[in-house]
Chains A and B, each alone.
Chain A
């Protein structure tokens, strides 16, 4: 009987300790390589953004529009990244994706990128400030901005097929380069990402 009482008390103490102390091992933080692929939820993530932008830039640079433009104009084309529309039921950081595209274009060195509308406003404000406060030899002049030759537009779509704890997600990113002079599309590219997500019905 004593043993039973001791066992009861032990169980009581253990249960109480578990409640008060919690059973979690606490938060852990570790630094990882920014290029490392980690898929947690199955939603669009940084790896998708980098992968798609790299593929699209590769496609854009490998098609004849660029050589045609160089041959006709004798200079690199100026590009502006327009709207990439998110038409998925996920909140996608489109700005990050556009940033990835822009960076890869700039670093590729074969085209020149024009600042976005918001960035241009900031630059113009600074230039206006220079007209009043900068020395004449360093002051930048009005009317010498470069107008873009092409605008990149695009959209991200998602089709999800779900059954029980399984889902297949199919992202398709379509991008176009539109000639700002005559609205012709000079290049169209796309990249697809397919993900299979499964949730076990039971765990231990």
Chain B
């Protein structure tokens, strides 16, 4: 057999393997596979969005599928289904505490997308928020209080679990955001609505402390209404000394609280406006050198060595000859462009009352803090994977000849992609305004304002029911 004819079966075999691997790993990253999702959601085409989720997610994305589906169903006003899906997500998230060793090994020779997706803490923390809203809309306020209790414990547990995978030196900011101040405040409002005044005060107090500690880091604004909530519940409970202590500990929350109106005569309307999207991960590629004659027996140490030298690797070992440049793919968080929407002015069309929103939660910022904490570990794992693939290729080439090396090289190249998975439909920020309105049905006008307070658009929320002394929660996604 001539050399030319022998190359044909080699090529055929290699191509067959590459085809199988392409099927196995999928060539596209998660963010590119689900690129249509956000436009479909913005257009209100929920069925198409659900189809994109089903088609764009794989067997290792079960949790992600449930999170994306749960939110789309929430926006589609399919609240019961949304809660079923979110509940399944919570159970799965608990099960995923146990990591698969085989998936970990597979990720070293393919990509991190071969590991089951585990939600980030700020993502898991939003599940009780949406479930609580679903229960509110279903007219089941007692169940929404259950979610309020869950919200308080879930994020802290998720942060703990995530910190275990993060290098100690990178933990500081992530460790601080064990709880979202807004979610504590939200939990307090749900508890007060359910008549649990004492528990509500505790939630409000914790929210005030969290806003005081984290408003700079998370880039959120402590709401004036929180101070009113604290004052009102403290008055009912006779907690004068406790209120004074909170006032002293959390001056940023008590800057200028508006007076509380007569409780029984009005109802409270909580307007929650979700804007933008959390930043999405994209794939970047970078190369690092493998040196001739250098020992790579300890791949972990070699990978950290390479990570620490990234960007100045040319000067790392100038005396050594470069044997090979390894090309790898890693995720990068793409911060969204500045939101043109600065705040909103919310007013009832039949009342004088108008209130401006505050940025109560900033998921974009939480995503950035989380990613920055995880980034060194992710890049280390990426380099380790590239090195493992290259060393396997070199070993195979030595033992089986060039074809073995070629196959390993193709395997490595086809499976090399960044793990860009994240809950992509989450909003970037939630703006909150609270209105005290007389009982009855009201239409709310929402003016969208830019940084100069120019009106960029108006939305109407029609038929908001207000009960005397009651609470009404209204949420809208602004696209």
Residues of A40-75 contacting chain B, CB below 8 A: 41
Q: Does A202 contact B (CB under 8 A)?
A: yes
- In angstroms, Cα B401 to Cα A65, docked, is 90
- In angstroms, Cα B127 to Cα A89, docked, is 13
Q: Does A183 contact B (CB under 8 A)?
A: no
Q: Which of A11, A41, A162, A203 contacts B101 (CB 8 A)?
A: A203
Q: How many residue pairs at the A-B interface have CB separations less than 8 Å?
A: 82
Taking a contact as CB atoms under 8 Å apart, the answer to whether A199 and B97 are in contact is yes
Residue on B nearest A17 in the bound complex, by CB: B20
Q: A90-B146, A202-B98 are in contact. Are A12 and B400 (CB under 8 A)?
A: no
Residue on A nearest B97 in the bound complex, by CB: A199
Residue on A nearest B16 in the bound complex, by CB: A12
Q: A1-B403, A8-B14 are in contact. Are A19 and B97 (CB under 8 A)?
A: no
Min Cβ gap B105→A in Å is 10
> Residues of B contacting A8 with CB < 8 Å?
13-14, 16-17, 407
> Residues of B contacting A204 with CB < 8 Å?
100-102
Residue on A nearest B100 in the bound complex, by CB: A203
Taking a contact as CB atoms under 8 Å apart, the answer to whether B98 and A199 are in contact is yes
Q: Which of B12, B98, B100, B196 contacts A165 (CB 8 A)?
A: B98
> Residues of B contacting A182 with CB < 8 Å?
none
Q: Does A141 contact B (CB under 8 A)?
A: no
Residues of A175-204 contacting chain B, CB below 8 A: 199-204
The secondary structure that dominates the B interface is helix
Residue on B nearest A13 in the bound complex, by CB: B20
Residues of B357-415 contacting chain A, CB below 8 A: 400-401, 403-404, 407
Q: Which of B9, B23, B149, B157 contacts A19 (CB 8 A)?
A: B23
Min Cβ gap A169→B in Å is 12
Q: A41-B94, A86-B146 are in contact. Are A15 and B100 (CB under 8 A)?
A: no
Min Cβ gap A176→B in Å is 18
- In angstroms, Cα B407 to Cα A13, docked, is 16
Taking a contact as CB atoms under 8 Å apart, the answer to whether A199 and B94 are in contact is yes
Binary contact readout B219-245 vs A (1 if CB under 8 angstroms, 0 otherwise): 000000000000000000000000000
Residue on B nearest A23 in the bound complex, by CB: B59
Residue on A nearest B6 in the bound complex, by CB: A1
Taking a contact as CB atoms under 8 Å apart, the answer to whether A203 and B98 are in contact is yes
> Residues of B contacting A86 with CB < 8 Å?
142, 146
Residue on B nearest A2 in the bound complex, by CB: B9
> Residues of B contacting A41 with CB < 8 Å?
91, 94
Q: Does B21 contact A (CB under 8 A)?
A: yes
> Residues of A contacting B403 with CB < 8 Å?
1, 4
Residue on A nearest B407 in the bound complex, by CB: A8
> Residues of A contacting B24 with CB < 8 Å?
15, 19
Residues of A96-155 contacting chain B, CB below 8 A: none
Q: Does A16 contact B (CB under 8 A)?
A: yes
Taking a contact as CB atoms under 8 Å apart, the answer to whether A12 and B100 are in contact is no
Q: Does B150 contact A (CB under 8 A)?
A: yes
> Residues of A contacting B146 with CB < 8 Å?
86, 88-91
Taking a contact as CB atoms under 8 Å apart, the answer to whether B91 and A5 are in contact is no
Give chain A's interface residue range (CB within 8 Å of chain B). Answer: 20 to 34
Q: Does A160 contact B (CB under 8 A)?
A: yes
- In angstroms, Cα B10 to Cα A199, docked, is 47
Taking a contact as CB atoms under 8 Å apart, the answer to whether A16 and B97 are in contact is no
Taking a contact as CB atoms under 8 Å apart, the answer to whether B13 and A5 are in contact is yes
- In angstroms, Cα B6 to Cα A204, docked, is 40
Min Cβ gap B307→A in Å is 24
Chain A CB within 10 Å — which of B10, B91, B146, B160 has the most?
B146
Min Cβ gap A31→B in Å is 23
- In angstroms, Cα B452 to Cα A62, docked, is 73
Q: Does B27 contact A (CB under 8 A)?
A: no
- In angstroms, Cα B13 to Cα A15, docked, is 14
Min Cβ gap A154→B in Å is 15
Q: Does A38 contact B (CB under 8 A)?
A: no
Q: Does B294 contact A (CB under 8 A)?
A: no
> Residues of A contacting B16 with CB < 8 Å?
8-9, 12
- In angstroms, Cα B95 to Cα A204, docked, is 14
- In angstroms, Cα B153 to Cα A202, docked, is 23
Min Cβ gap B58→A in Å is 9
Q: Does B336 contact A (CB under 8 A)?
A: no
- In angstroms, Cα B59 to Cα A22, docked, is 9
> Residues of B contacting A200 with CB < 8 Å?
98
Taking a contact as CB atoms under 8 Å apart, the answer to whether B101 and A91 are in contact is no
Binary contact readout B79-119 vs A (1 if CB under 8 angstroms, 0 otherwise): 00000000100010011011111100000000000000000
Taking a contact as CB atoms under 8 Å apart, the answer to whether A15 and B20 are in contact is yes
- In angstroms, Cα B91 to Cα A178, docked, is 38
Chain B CB within 10 Å — which of A8, A9, A12, A16 has the most?
A8
- In angstroms, Cα B102 to Cα A123, docked, is 61
Q: Does B143 contact A (CB under 8 A)?
A: yes
Min Cβ gap A158→B in Å is 9
Min Cβ gap A186→B in Å is 25
Chain B CB within 10 Å — which of A4, A41, A165 has the most?
A4
> Residues of B contacting A12 with CB < 8 Å?
16-17, 19-20
Q: Closest 3 A-B residue pairs measured CB to CB?
A: A89-B149, A12-B20, A5-B13
| Inter-chain pairs besides A1-B403, A91-B143, 10 sampled, C-beta below 8 Å | A4-B404, A5-B10, A8-B17, A9-B17, A12-B19, A15-B20, A16-B20, A19-B24, A22-B59, A162-B153
- Chain B positions within 8 Å of A, measured between CB atoms, are 6, 9-10, 12-14, 16-17, 19-21, 23-24, 59, 87, 91, 94-95, 97-102, 142-143, 146, 149-150, 152-153, 157, 160-161, 164, 196, 400-401, 403-404, 407
Query: 13 A-B residue contacts at CB 8 Å?
Result: A8-B13, A8-B14, A8-B16, A8-B407, A12-B16, A12-B20, A16-B19, A41-B94, A87-B196, A89-B153, A165-B98, A200-B98, A202-B101
